[in-house]
Amino acid sequence: MNKLSNDDLDKMEKDAIAFYEISCVVPLEKFNTIINCTSAKEIWEVLKNLYQGSEQAQEKKLTIVLNEFTNIKALPGESLDESFKRFNLIITKLSNVGTVISNHETYRQFLNGLGRHWMTTKMIVQVDRNIHTLSLFKLYGELQAQESTVLKECEDIDGSLALMAQAPQ
């Protein structure tokens, strides 16, 4: 007959406590996925797979979100605020899949994603020596301060182009 050591008993007790704790917080509609599990570790693995997906699914999520980050562009007619919210959602998705992008890369990508009307402002901001110390939110604040000027220039340019296009008729 095998006697269990104190260490084995301690591990079994910890597993039983963890098993109970995890089981208590699993939503009722998901409980049937863990009902046949025999250890806390097994429950954890089932829940991890259920909520995060397999490694292959996680890699696919990461690839999709990285593509979103790399290819983000302001949509036609989209305000700075709307672009910023959409960009922040992508940053949150990246964080959720375990990827952290540096501040420098984050604001560089946000600036590059802004429309052509922001070209002058982007160039000025990128030349600024303090840009490496700015957080994305401070950069957004700087851009907000310039938004009315950019929109005014945009109206002037678009109006001029419209008049020029109509003139030859």
Q: Considering the entire predicted model, what is its pTM?
A: 0.61
Please give the chain's pLDDT, 169 residues, in tens.
Answer: 578 888 888 999 999 999 999 989 888 888 899 999 999 999 999 998 888 777 788 788 889 999 999 999 999 888 899 999 999 999 999 998 888 888 888 888 998 998 888 888 888 877 776 667 778 888 888 888 888 888 777 666 554 433 333 334 4
Cβ atoms within 10 A of the Cβ of 93, count? 17
Burial 104-127 (b: 16+ CB within 10 A, else e): eebbbbbbebbbebbeebbeebee
pLDDT in tens, 40-72: 999 999 998 888 777 788 788 889 999 999 999
